[in-house]
C-alpha cells in the first residue's frame, strides 16, 4: 500500500493505492491522523487505486470519520473500485463513509 497526501482548496486529499490490510493499515491511520491534526476542514480519502481492503482497513476509515466528526471536521471516502465498494455496501458503512455524496 502507498499513501500520499495533498492539499486541496477545501482541505486535504489522501490518495491510497494497492491493498489495505492488517499488515499496513497503520500507514493509512497515520495519514488520517496527520490530516486531522492539521485541522483540515474537509478530508477526502481517495480509494480509486485500492484493489482490496480488509476489515482492519475499513475500521481505520470508520474510525477516521468518527474522529473527524468529534473534531468538527468532515472526512469522506471517494472513488472506491467496484469490488471495494461492494464490500463497504455489504458491511453497511458506505453511507457513514460519505460514499456517493
Instruction: Give the count of beta carbons closer than 10 Å to the beta carbon of residue 15.
Output: 19
Q: What CA–CA distance (Å, rounded) separates 81 from 70?
A: 28
Sequence-ordered alpha helix ranges (H) in 1-101: 25-37, 55-70, 82-90
- What pLDDT score does 27 carry? 98
DSSP 10: S
What pLDDT band is residue 101 in, cutting at 50, 70 and 90?
Answer: low
pTM above 0.85, yes or no: yes
- Helix-then-strand count for the chain, H and E: 3, 4
pLDDT at residue 61 greater than cutoff 70: yes
- What pLDDT score does 47 carry? 98
What pLDDT band is residue 100 in, cutting at 50, 70 and 90?
Answer: confident
8 Å CB contact between 51 and 81: yes
pLDDT at residue 22 greater than cutoff 70: yes
Amino acid at each position: 500500500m502507498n499513501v500520499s497526501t495533498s492539499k486541496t482548496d477545501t482541505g486535504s486529499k489522501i490518495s491510497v493505492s494497492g491493498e489495505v490490510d492488517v499488515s499496513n493499515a497503520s500507514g493509512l491511520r497515520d495519514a488520517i491522523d496527520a490530516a486531522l491534526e492539521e485541522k483540515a476542514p474537509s478530508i477526502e480519502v481517495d480509494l480509486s487505486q485500492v484493489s482490496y481492503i480488509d476489515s482492519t482497513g475499513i475500521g481505520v476509515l470508520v474510525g477516521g470519520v468518527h474522529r473527524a466528526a468529534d473534531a468538527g471536521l468532515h472526512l469522506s471516502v471517494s472513488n472506491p473500485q467496484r469490488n471495494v465498494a461492494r464490500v463497504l455496501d455489504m458491511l453497511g458503512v458506505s453511507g457513514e463513509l460519505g460514499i456517493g455524496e
